[in-house]
Amino acid sequence: MQTLKEIVDFCKFQSFDLNFTRAKAWKEEKEGRVLVGYMPIYFPREIIHAAGGMAVGVFGGGDIKQIIKGDAYYQSYICHIPRSIMELALDKHMDHFDGFIFPSICDVIRNLSGIFKQKKIGKFVKYMDFPQNFLPQIGGVFYQQEMQHVLKYIKEINGVEVTTEALNHSIDLYNKNRQMIDFIYKIRQDFPWRLSIIDVYHIIRAGTVITVEEHNEILEQVCEHIKNDIGVRQDKIKIVISGAFCEQPAMGLIKAIEDAGCYVVDDDYMLGSRMILGDVDATSTNPLEAISNAYIKQSQYSSSIYDIDNPKEYRLAKIVKDRGANGVIFASASFCDPSLLDAPIFQNAFNKMGIRYIAFQYSENINQYKVIKEQVGAFADSIKLWDDEPVLAL
């Protein structure tokens, strides 16, 4: 077994290898393998796996990639991630990818799919229209058709006809993957000092750019390590991060929040890897239906999913309660419509519920954290000092 440090170092490198070399090497090992890039938030990676491919997370260039060409495609008042994805594409970081999936999360990502199509980047570009109707016989059927389109594109490239057995096998692997990630979060809920949030982040993000088999091996080892009483407990409050599900904060910012006095006991940084709550049925005779049902009935709340029948503010409040968190930090990427438009809904509800929160905005390439760190520090101190005081509804 590798040491935890060795594992974390490996994952850290993989997470920010913007040339996706491990995925490329995997593809070159065997003929017929395909690489499919997917944008945030969620995509059912199981189906790519079953078709002999690998779904590779494309989460932008962070604070590593300098943006020059991408800025020519996006106005200053549009979030940062589309310009950094364009930069990666135009600088040929993803030339070995066969296709690209753009999940339906907002107008910017949707229109980015059109720019990819227009510029003929990849052998296929698929805008994945996730259903906003949650009846299995309506939205569920439509979602299955969307997945079939993806499989058709892959079959055109590698000729693989996906079987029920292959799909169930893939579902099983990803179920295990999510189970182990859940386990890590459960440990962190009670013992957050055993593994820092930045390490958790790297470990989970690495799973989006390597095979699920390899990632499962890594997770198994991480789970073993953190069962032990490691690390040193510090005097920090527990908080939940919400709103950072697409454009990812810079690593320095993720670290700064914890350094400023907050143990992050839950977050939506890599929401896609944790979107399905619980297992997908891996024994179905219609696995696409099983994946679809899981999405419809077992999804985590998300700013991109119509929520009228299951309001998100109560779901986040439940996470706060279940995790024993002291408050919430709403971290939104600048100009992120889904996250920012949800802010009043959450904040008005939390004012009434007496859940403490702060909010700030960031950009993936932000490299000055002082102001945010001070804000987070003051939030942590206020909770430590006055946690017993009732929060007044505004």
| Residue number with CB closer to another protein (277 or 341) | 341
Nearer to another protein, 149 or 321 (CB): 149
CA distance 272 to 101: 13
Query: Whole-number minimum distance, CB 297 to another protein, in Å?
Result: 17
Distance in Å, CB of 156 to another protein, minimum = 14
Which of 5/152 has CB closer to another protein?
A: 152
- Residue type for 226, please? I
By C-beta, is 199 or 364 nearer to another protein? 364
Q: In the bound complex, what is the minimum distance in angstroms from residue 37's beta carbon to another protein?
A: 16
- Give the separation between CA 361 and CA 79, rounded to whole angstroms: 11
Q: Minimal CA–CA distance to 355: which of 321, 381, 308?
A: 321
38's tokens: 């997917």
Q: Interior CA angle at 176 toward 175 and 178, to 5°?
A: 65
Residue placing its CB nearer to another protein in the complex, 64 or 349:
349
Task: Using the minimum distance from each CB to another protein, give the nearer residue, 22 or 80.
Answer: 80
Alpha-carbon distance of 312 to 288, in angstroms, equals: 26
Whole-number Å distance between alpha carbons of 253 and 247? 13
Closest to another protein by CB, 78 or 88? 78
Q: How far is the CB of 230 from another protein (least distance, A)?
A: 40
Shortest distance in whole angstroms from residue 207 CB to another protein: 27
What is the smallest separation between the CB atom of 76 and another protein, expressed in angstroms? Answer: 9
Please state the closest distance from residue 344 (CB atom) to another protein, in A: 4
| Residues at the interface with another protein (CB under 8 A) | 72-75, 77-78, 82, 104-108, 110-115, 117-119, 126-127, 129, 131-133, 135, 137-139, 141-142, 145, 303-304, 306-308, 332, 334-335, 337-338, 340-345, 347-349, 361
